[in-house]
């Protein structure tokens, strides 16, 4: 993903997206450069109008619903009930084991 970000950074800065510039950005960012990935990205972006591609990209809105204290408390109660049920099952199985022991 950092390779794409580096290409977008070069584009935003008005610089040419070529292997040398892409490597420079990645190295400055502390990324270990993979020559094959750099070549593949530069090749893939050849002839692509990045501004047009960005304008046509679809972005899904992300909505976050706040969690209330009541929901957290209810979730804890459910977990406790499950634990109690599991303990009861274990006790019942121990009792059955005594029949055959």
What are the tens digits of pLDDT across the range 7-46?
999 999 999 999 999 999 999 999 999 999 999 999 999 9
From residue 77, how far is each of 40, 52, 81, 98 by CA, in Å? 53, 52, 6, 32
Which of these, 28, 34, 49, lies nearest to 1 by C-alpha position?
34
Q: Cα–Cα distance between 86 and 90 in angstroms, integer?
A: 6
Has this prediction a pTM greater than 0.95? Answer: no
């Amino acid at each position: 993903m950092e390779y794409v970000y580096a290409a977008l950074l070069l584009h935003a800065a008005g610089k040419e997206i070529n292997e040398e510039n892409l490597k420079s950005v990645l190295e400055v960012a502390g990324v270990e450069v993979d020559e094959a990935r750099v070549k593949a990205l530069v090749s893939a972006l050849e002839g692509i109008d990045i501004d047009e591609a960005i304008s046509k990209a679809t972005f899904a809105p992300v909505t976050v619903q706040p969690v209330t204290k009541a929901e957290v408390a209810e979730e804890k109660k459910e977990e406790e009930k499950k634990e109690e049920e599991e303990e009861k099952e274990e006790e019942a199985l121990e009792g059955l084991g005594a029949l055959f022991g």
